[in-house]
Amino acid sequence: MFHGIVRRLLSAIPTLLIGITLCFLIIHLAPGNPAMRFLNPSQSAETQEIIRERFSLNQSLMVQYGHWLERVLFHFDFGYSFYNGKSCVAVLASALKPTLLLSFWALIFALFVGISLGIVAATKADTRFDRIINSIMMVFISTPAFWLGLMLIGLFTIRLGWLPGSHLHSLYYDQLNGFGQILDSVRHLILPVLTLGLPLAATLFKYIRAGMVDALQSDYILAAKARGFRQSTILWKYSLKNSLLPVVSLLGMIIPALLSGALIIEVVFALPGVGRAMVTAVFGRDYPILMAGVSLAFFIVILFNIIADIINMILDPRIQTGSGGL
């Protein structure tokens, strides 16, 4: 297993390099010029050249790439934002916290709701309860996240006035005591976590329910029943364990999906996360921030895929012993 993990880690390095190189080329070759936003009708050609020089846009693409890669690999320096002159590392470091907070709680919520409802629905397969839950989950799967967010804001913020619809904290957060601050943060996180977590919970629900239904109808469960195992043992020990395997693989894809989902949700709920920083960077052609964000995204995708592979290997030893294993 150790060799498998090492091989997997080593194979991730060229994947990461090729990925970010491609992204660098795509971002820089896309039509549009970041210096355009600094254009002024009364500006001289020399001034425009100075601005291009400030951002190294006057150099050839390969030279730009070489400098960028050298700075990143040897100094962990992703450069400065074209937009506000801030260090890209500082921008993303500050934006990462809210994104991780939102993604973490959305994942916990989705795992809890998706798995528990999936189990219940599987044990009551083809009943009215199952059909209703299935239908509700289908709605959440097919609903665009931004629309769901707006509907939740409309209901809980505007109509009922129960929950705030934007930002991480109230304006007077610093004036609150410790408990008040926690409560304030929780209130602000409920709607974005629901918006991000509900579609994810619905996806997990589908996998768990399908896996559980299959497992509950399989021969080894029949054998377990025949041997007089308790229903809860059959459910939790045998059925659920096997049903979780595809979910673990799915998690490798879900984590990046969570980040991309956060992208829209952070704009709707005005949260200061990576998604919002990236949206601003895309519209402003802020190449350094885009490249830093893309590199981070690549790293996360690869990292979580490796983690999912390792967990799969632990849960299902056939993977490491099989010829197609790690």
Partner 1 sequence: MKTPGRTNLFQICLSCLIVILLSSCQKSRPRQFEHSDLYPKTDHIQDGGTMVIGIRAEPESLNPLFALSQSSRNIIGLVFSRLADINEDLTSFSPRLAKSWEIFTDNPQIIFHLRTDALWQDRTPFTSNDVVFTYQMHVDSAIAWDGIAYKQNISSVEAPNDSTVVFSFYQNSRSMLMDAIEGYILPAHILQNIPPEDLFTADFNRHPIGTGPFEFGSWVDMQTLTLLKNNNFYEPGKPHLDRIIFRIIPDNFNLLNQLKAGEIDLVEGIYPKDYQTILQNWNQGQSIIRPISYLGRRYDFIGWNMIDPESYRFAIEAGTPPDAIKDNLKPNTLFGRQEIRAALTMALDRGAIMNTVNFGMAVPLNGPVPPILASYNESANASWEYNPQRAKALLSEQGWIDSDGDNILDRNGVSFEFELLTESGNLRWEQVATIVQAQLADIGVRATPRFLEPALLYGKLLPAKDFDAVVIGWSVGLTPDFSPLFHSATFFTPFHFTGYYSPEYDRLDELSKTTLSDAKAREYYNEIARLLSNDLPYTWLYYRMECSAVHSRFKDIIYDKRGIYINPEDWWIPQGERLYIDKVFQK
Q: Which residues bind partner 1 (CB under 8 A)?
A: 31-34, 36-47, 50-51, 54, 80, 83-87, 91, 94-95, 150, 153, 157-158, 161, 165-169, 171-172, 175, 267-273, 276-277, 279-280, 282-285
Q: Which is nearer to partner 1, 248 or 278 (CB)?
A: 278
d(CA 38, CA 85): 13
Complex with partner 1: residue 91 or 310, whichever CB lies closer? 91
In whole angstroms, how close is the CB of 128 to partner 1 at the nearest point? 37
Instruction: Give least dist CB 156 to partner 1, A.
Output: 12
- Give the nearest distance from C-beta 227 to partner 1 in angstroms: 58
Q: Work out how close the CB of 63 gets to partner 1 at its nearest, in angstroms, rounded to a whole number.
A: 20
Nearer to partner 1, 258 or 274 (CB): 274
User: In the beta sheet, which residues pair with residue 87?
Assistant: 80
15 or 84, CB closer to partner 1? 84
Closest distance to partner 1 from the beta carbon of 43 (Å)? 7
Q: Report the alpha-carbon distance of residue 209 to residue 217 in Å, rounded.
A: 12
By beta-carbon proximity to partner 1, the closer residue of 224 and 278 is 278
Residue 290 CB, nearest distance to partner 1 (Å)? 12
Give 8 or 187: the residue with its C-beta nearer to partner 1.
187
If the CB atoms of residues 53 and 138 are measured against partner 1, the closer one turns out to be 53
State the nearest-atom distance from the C-beta of 50 to partner 1, in Å: 5
